[in-house]
Amino acid sequence: MAEQLTTPRDLLAAYLRQMLWIERQLADHVLPRLREQAHSPDLRRGFGRHLLETEGHVEAVREVLGDLHVPAEPEESSGFRGLVQEHEQLVGRVAEDDHLLADLAHAVAALATEHLELATYESLIGIAESLGEEAVGIRLREVMEQEEFALEQVDSAMAKLLAEKVESARP
Ligand SMILES: [Fe+2]
């Protein structure tokens, strides 16, 4: 059984270990696959760029765990696993030649992931700062800025896809 959490510091550590797992999944599997699957050049570029940033996030979260004297052992996130499964199932239901629809599904999944990461990091920064762990807060804010940028990139790629979709649906 997983160890009991009794303090905000324990909770911070547990969530950070989940974020380590999520960032590693993204860096090792999810983003390389999305970069390959995406058809839109904007999405491809965005996923490629965020892959490099995400490799940095893995290191950042590892460092933060080190600062907190917590072993950097990743803890599986069932929420993120669910997001990935849901995305795979939906994409599997899109016709193989419908590139636009598949790309839209990739964009929706990417936005959901960014929101999950942003919400978690935001809360963790609050906890870290309230514990006087200023360095942890600063490091996580840097990660958050890159997540925000990635979110904007996907947002604008999606807006472009939707404009094309509407265009192609016109009689
Ligand atoms: Fe990230």
pLDDT per position as a tens digit, 27-74: 999 999 999 999 999 999 999 999 999 999 999 999 999 999 999 999
Question: 120 C-alpha to center of ligand 1: Å?
Answer: 11
Provide the residue type at 16 as one letter.
L
Q: How far apart are CA 49 and CA 54, in angstroms?
A: 9
Q: How far apart are CA 124 and CA 87, in angstroms?
A: 26
pLDDT of residue 118: 98
Residue 1 has pLDDT above 60, yes or no: no
Domains of the chain, start order: 8-165 (1.20.1260.10)
Provide the residue type at 31 as one letter.
L
Question: 152 C-alpha to center of ligand 1: Å?
Answer: 14
pLDDT per position as a tens digit, 74-108: 999 999 999 999 999 999 999 999 999 999 999 99
Tokens 């896809």 appear where? 161
Question: 167 C-alpha to center of ligand 1: Å?
Answer: 33
pLDDT per position as a tens digit, 100-120: 999 999 999 999 999 999 999
Question: 155 C-alpha to center of ligand 1: Å?
Answer: 16
52: Cβ contacts below 8 Å, ≥ 6 apart: none
pTM, entire model: 0.94
User: Among 47, 169, 54, which residue's Cα sits nearest to residue 109?
Assistant: 47
